[in-house]
Structure 1
C-alpha cells in the first residue's frame, strides 16, 4: 500500500481499501459512485485513469492527495512515515496489511460530504473545544453506565463532529476539528468493542487514526494508533497486526516524547509479544516501560493521556503478560501490586478480575479463580457489557480442571444468562473473543 501511494497506483489502492473494509467489489463501486464494471476494469489494469478521476477517487475515499505524491502539502507537524513493510502472512492464503489499515480513510458513512459554499460560518474558535468537552463527558459516564446506553449518542456525536469538520474546510479551525473528530471516533470505537461489534469498532478506530493525522497532532496520532493496536491485540486476538501498529506508533512518536507515551506503547507492545509467545521480547518491553515511568519527568501527562503512567499500571500489564505466557505465579505477584478491585471504572476492573481468575486457575486455586470470574460476570451483566461477559465465557472454555462446585455454579449462571439475554433483547452482538490455539 505504501508503494502504491508513492506511485499513485490507484488499482492497488482501490483493492487495498476494499480488502481493508471487507467490501465486495460492488460495495466499493457504490462507495465511490462508479459502476462495478468500471471498478473491475481499473483493478484489473484495463482502465486508464485521468488526472481528474484520480482526484475524484481520492476525494470520495478521503485519501489526502499528498499521500499519493500527487500534490498538496503534508499535514502540520511533519509527514508521517509511509515506507512501512507491514504485510504479515498468517497462514495459507491469508495476509494482513497494516498499511491498508493506516492509510484507508473513514468509510463513506463517516466521510464528510463536499463542503457547501458559506458553510464555515457555523464554525469558530469555540466549536472544537465544545465537541471535545462532549466526548470527555461521555468518557466519564462510561465508568458508570452501560455502553449500550451511551452508544447512540456517541455515534450521533461522531456525525456531528464530522459535519463540523466539513464546515471548517478552508478555515484555520480545521486541524482542531480534525482532532475533535478523532477523539469522538476513538470513543465510539471503544463502545462498539464493549458491545461486541468488531466491524464498527475497527471502522471507528481507523477513522480516529486518519483524523488524528489530518490534525497534524503527533501525540493524538500515536494515541489512536496505540488504541487500535490494543484493540487488535486484546479484542481481535491478532497480536501480529497489533505489533506492527505499535511499531508504527513508536516511529511516529520519536525518541524525545513524554515518558508516559513511551511507557504506554511499550506495555501495549509487551502484550503483543506475549500473544505471539515471545517471552524475551515481552520482558524487554516491560523493562523499557519500567525505566520510562521511573524518569523524573514522568509527571503532568500529555494530552490526550489523562493520568501519568506509573509503576502500578506497568505492573498491571506485567500481570497480563504473565497470564498470556502461562506464568501464573508471576502474574499473581504482579496483580497483587496492581489490582484495584474498587477502581472507579467497574467494567475495567471486571476485565482485570477475569485475567486474575485465569492466573489463579493456572496455579490450581480453582475456588478463588471461579469466585473472581463470577464477580466479573455480575458486573458484566449489570453493565450489559459483551466484552466482560465474553471474557468470562472464554475463561470457562479454557478451564480443563476438575468439575468442582464453584465450576458448576458459574455454568448455571452462564446458562441462565442466555435465557435472560433472549428475554430482554440486549447482548445480541457477536462474541468478540476467541480461544488462542
Structure 2
C-alpha cells in the first residue's frame, strides 16, 4: 500500500465492513477500518486526517459529532470516494430515527439558504445528502409522512438548477435533481399513487440524461421498469429495460448488466416466458461473477450486486413462473445473506406466501399473507396492502380457518 500517496486498494471500499459504514456515512467506522488496514497508531491516523489525536479519539468513540465540512475534509485526506458516502439503510430505534430526521431538516435549511445564491461546488452534495437522509427515514416511516418534504425538496432542487445556467455545476445539480425525483417517485409508488409516481420517474430519467450520466439514466429507467413490471405491465417494463441497456452502451459495468438482466428475468417471468426468463438469469449469473472481480460499484449503485441479491430476483421470477420449490429455495438463499427493511419484508412475505400457495401449503400461505398485511398496516404501505389484496383475489379455493382470519383482517383494513 502506498502510504505516501494515500491510496487504498479498490477492494478496500467494497469490503463488507467498509461498505456498511459508507452506506450509513459512519465515518468513525471507516476511520477504524483505515487504521486497521494500514496498521497505524491513533497518532498516525490523526496526522493523516489533519486533526489532533484527542479529537480523533473522541470521533472514534462516538463522542465528537462531525460537520459536513469535516466529513469532506477527512474524506479528501484519506481518499474516501465521496460518491460512496450514502444514506441507504436505517438502524432501528426511535433515537436514530429522530437523529436522521433532524439531520435531514438541518441540511434542508442549509440548502434553502444556499438556494438564494448561485450554486457552488457544495450545493449538489448538500442536495444529494438531503435525499439520502430522507431515504434512510423511509425504511421505517410511512411514505405519506415523507412525501410533502420530498416533493418540496425536488422543487427546491429544480429552482436551484434553474439559476445555474452557464456554471460548471449544472451536471452535478441535474444528477441531484434526478436522485430526489427518483426517491419521490418511490414514495408515491409505495402509496399506490401510480400516476404521480410515473411523473417523478420521468423527471428523474430526464434530469439524469441532462446530467449526461448514462449510468444514472439507466438506473432510473430500470427503476421505472420495475415499477411497471410490479404493476403487471411486463411488456412496457421490458421495453424500458431495453432502453436502459442502450443507455449504458456496449460495455456497461458488470453490476449494471447483472441488475438489468435480473430485472429482465423478472419481466419475462411476469409475462410467463420461462425460456427467456431463465436465459436472462444465466446472463445475470455471468455478470455477477464478473462483478466480483471489479472494484467498488460505480455510483448510483452503492452495494455490490452479489449472488444473494441475484437469488432474490430468481425467487421472484420462479414465483411468477409457478415453480414453488425453486422459489422457496432461492428465497432461503437470498434471506440467509441479508435482512430486508420492514416494508420490503412485507412484500417478500406475500411473494413467499404465493409460492407456498402454489405448492398447496394453504395454512402457511395465509399465515404469511397475514404477516405481510400487518406490515402494510403498521407502515401505512398501500403497496403492501394492495399486494395482499391481489393475493386474496387470485385464490378461489375453500375458506379455511386461516383464510377466514386473513379475510377478517383485510376487511378491517379496507373498512
Alignment TM-score > 0.5, same fold: yes
Q: 2:318 matched to 1:326?
A: no
Q: Distance in 1 between matches of 2:312 and 2:122?
A: 38
Q: Is the 8 A contact 2:308 2:337 kept in 1?
A: no
Q: Is the 8 A contact 1:331 1:359 kept in 2?
A: yes
Partner of 1:395: 391
Shift of the alpha carbon at 1:402? Answer: 2.2
Partner of 2:244: 249
Shift of the alpha carbon at 1:252? Answer: 1.4
Q: Distance in 1 between matches of 2:207 and 2:269?
A: 30
The change in CA–CA distance for 1:341 and 1:260 in structure 2 (over 3 A counts) is: closer
Q: 2:373 matched to 1:338?
A: no
Q: Is the 8 A contact 2:218 2:244 kept in 1?
A: yes
Partner of 1:150: 146
Q: Distance in 1 between matches of 2:337 and 2:355?
A: 16
How many aligned residue pairs are there? 300
Aligned residue runs from structure 1 range 53-92, under 5 A: none
Aligned residue runs from structure 1 range 286-301, under 5 A: 286-295=281-290, 296-301=292-297
Q: Is the 8 A contact 1:292 1:298 kept in 2?
A: no
Shift of the alpha carbon at 1:331? Answer: 1.1
Give CA-to-partner distance per residue, 1:254-285, whole Å, 9 cap, x none: 23222111111001111111122111010010
Aligned residue runs from structure 1 range 213-362, under 5 A: 213-234=209-230, 236-295=231-290, 296-339=292-335, 343-362=339-358
Q: Is the 8 A contact 1:194 1:387 kept in 2?
A: yes
Task: Look up the SS of the partner of 1:415 in the other structure.
Answer: helix
Q: Distance in 1 between matches of 2:239 and 2:340?
A: 32
Stretches of structure 1 that go unaligned for 5 or more consecutive residues are 1-118, 420-437
Pairwise CA RMSD: 1.5
Stretches of structure 2 that go unaligned for 5 or more consecutive residues are 1-114
TM-score, normalised with respect to structure 1:
0.67
Q: Distance in 2 between matches of 1:168 and 1:398?
A: 52
Partner of 1:379: 375
